[in-house]
Amino acid sequence: MPQEEMVEGIQNEQNPEEVEAVTTEQQTEGAEKSEEEDPKKVKKFSEEDLERIVKRRLAQQHKKFEKILNPVETELDRREREVTQREFRAEGRERLLKEGLPTELIALMNLSNKDEFEESYTHVLNVFKKVLDDKEYEIKKAFLKGKPPIHGDKFKTGNNDNLKSAFAPKE
């Protein structure tokens, strides 16, 4: 008897597709039966169907109680996450300053946990250093590419007699 009461309570929770499927099966099987039978007759479910429905109901109740209990935990988790992010942000700024890099690069880093912070810090550091090295190379190349001195050949050919006489051995 308790299963029948449970079945009656569960009937209303079935989705429309299942209800239609059950009613069409009953219509095909019950075509030979008389039309005088009550259409509100209790449906029978297999054990698997009953277990599935009960599990779904328990899951719904579990979610309902989690919503009641979890706000306190969620608030605590949120605060802990914010504190962790502040710590990583401060540590990242210090490390960037030690490297001589702009602290605005902290916005490019993942501050969610220690491993991801370290990975993103290393990646940002490597990329930024590579960009700086490339730029430094271009600047040096442009500087060294300059024109040779205009009067640089006087010293090589010995055309400057005053310089020779200044350093000549005195007799």
pLDDT digits (tens, 9 = 90+) for 10-23: 554 444 445 444 45
Residue 158 — left, alpha, or beta (φ > 0 → left; ψ -120 to 50 → alpha)? left
In one-letter notation, the amino acid at residue 141 is K
* Continuous segment of H or E residues that includes residue 123: helix 114-144
How many domains, in total, are found in the chain?
Answer: 1
Q: What is the pTM of this model?
A: 0.41
Report, as an integer, the average pLDDT of 73-101.
89
Domain hosting 104: range is 44-139
24, part of any domain: no
Any domain includes 34: no
Instruction: Please choose, from the candidates 11, 41, 17, the residue with its C-alpha nearest in 3D space to the C-alpha of residue 29.
Output: 41
Residue type, 124: V
Tokens 């220690």 sit at which residue?
Answer: 114
Is residue 59 in some structural domain? yes
Burial of 49 from C-beta contacts in 10 A (0-12 / 13-18 / 19+): middle
CA 26 to CA 36: how far, in whole Å?
A: 14
Per-residue pLDDT tens over the stretch 88-139: 999 999 998 998 888 898 888 898 889 999 999 999 889 988 888 888 888 8
| Residue 12, in any domain of the structure | no
| Contact predicate 125/99, CB 8 Å | yes
Residue 14 lies in a domain: no
Is 85 within the bounds of a domain?
yes
84 within a domain of the structure (yes/no)? yes
Q: Does 52 reside within a domain?
A: yes
